[in-house]
């Protein structure tokens, strides 16, 4: 069944994104064509059911404030990185590796917070200011935090992963 209506037009018709002329042409056809009218009715019902089910699922799997915040933070970081369009430096790569190692152990948010806290309490003052010169004090501070979060073995693993 085509009757001069493409799948793309059906989709846009159901979504209400057709131009006025296209909309009027399809509406005029639907009035006189029973198979197309039946198809349209079935699609409308299915669409409504899918929307309802989607809303229910969204309610059932509502994100916590913390998860939402962490997710948004990642999205904005990626957007920022894409905008600056700068290739990752070896130092940045190592920072990412450290964060990944800690994330597995104590969670994404704890890893992000630990990295920021370690940078804030080191000569670098912030993650962006970390250089080869102030890397070692930053790493030592991070290891001190990791001793509490991950224990001695976890901290050693982090130390080995973080050595330049």
Binding marks (x or -) toward other proteins, 120..149, rule CB under 8 A? -x----------------------xx-xxx
- The per-type count for the chain, helices as H runs and strands as E runs, is 7, 0
The whole-angstrom separation of Cα 18 and Cα 14 is: 9
Residues 145, 118: contact at Cβ < 8 Å? yes
Minimum CB separation from other proteins for residue 144, in Å? 8
Integer angstrom CA distances of residue 50 from 57, 65, 66? 10, 26, 28
Does residue 58 interact with other proteins by CB under 8 A?
A: no
Q: Which is nearer to other proteins, 9 or 107 (CB)?
A: 107
> Which residues, 6+ apart, have CB-to-CB distance to 144 below 8 Å?
118
What are φ and ψ of residue 130, in 5° steps?
-75, 130
Binding to other proteins in span 65-104, by CB under 8 A? 66-67, 70, 101, 103-104
Q: Which stretch binds other proteins (CB under 8 A): 55-63, 64-72, 84-92, 126-134?
A: 64-72
Binding site for other proteins (CB under 8 A): 64, 66-67, 70, 101, 103-111, 113-114, 117, 121, 144-145, 147-157, 160-161, 163
């Amino acid at each position: 069944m085509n009757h001069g209506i493409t799948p793309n037009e059906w989709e846009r018709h159901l979504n209400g994104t057709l131009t006025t002329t296209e909309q009027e042409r399809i509406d005029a056809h639907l009035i006189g064509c029973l198979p197309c009218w039946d198809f349209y009715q079935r699609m409308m019902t299915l669409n409504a059911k899918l929307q309802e089910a989607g809303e229910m699922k969204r309610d059932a799997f509502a994100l916590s404030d913390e998860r939402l915040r962490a997710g948004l933070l990642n999205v904005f970081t990626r957007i920022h990185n894409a905008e600056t369009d700068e290739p990752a430096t070896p130092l940045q790569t190592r920072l990412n590796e450290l964060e990944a190692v800690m994330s597995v152990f104590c969670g994404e948010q704890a890893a992000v917070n630990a990295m920021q806290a370690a940078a804030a309490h080191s000569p670098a003052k912030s993650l962006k200011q970390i250089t080869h010169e102030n890397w070692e004090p930053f790493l030592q501070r991070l290891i001190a935090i990791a001793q509490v979060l991950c224990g001695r073995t976890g901290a050693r693993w982090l130390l080995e992963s973080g050595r330049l």
